[in-house]
Amino acid sequence: MTDPELEQLAQRLGARPAERLDVERTAQAVLARLREERRRPVAAWVWMQPTWLKIAATAVLVLGAGLVMRGLVHEPQVSTAWVAPIRDDLSDLTAEQLREAMRSLEQPLISEGPGAAGGIETGLDGLSADELRALLRTLEG
Partner 1 sequence: MPQAEPVAAAPAPPSDAALIAAWQGGDEQAAAELVHRHARALARFLAGAGAPAADVDDLVQETFIRAFRGVGKFRGQCRFRTWLLTIGGNVLKDAARRAQRAPIVPLGEDLRANDGDPHERAVAGEAEARLGEGLVRLPRMQREVFLLRAQQGLDYEEIAAALGTSPGAARVHYHHAVKRLKEYLA
Helix (H) or strand (E) holding 28: helix 23-39
10 binds partner 1 (CB under 8 A): yes
Closest separation between CB of residue 55 and partner 1, Å? 20
Contacts of 140 (CB under 8 A, 6+ apart): 83, 86, 87
Contacts of 110 (CB under 8 A, 6+ apart): 103, 116, 117, 120, 121
Closest separation between CB of residue 20 and partner 1, Å? 8
Residue from 129, 73, 66 nearest 97 by CA? 129
Which range, of 3-11, 82-90, 102-110, 117-125, touches partner 1 by CB under 8 A? 3-11
For partner 1, the binding residues in 23-62 under the rule CB under 8 A are: 23-24, 26-31, 33-35, 37
Closest separation between CB of residue 43 and partner 1, Å? 16
Positions touching partner 1 (CB under 8 A) are: 1, 3, 6-7, 9-24, 26-31, 33-35, 37
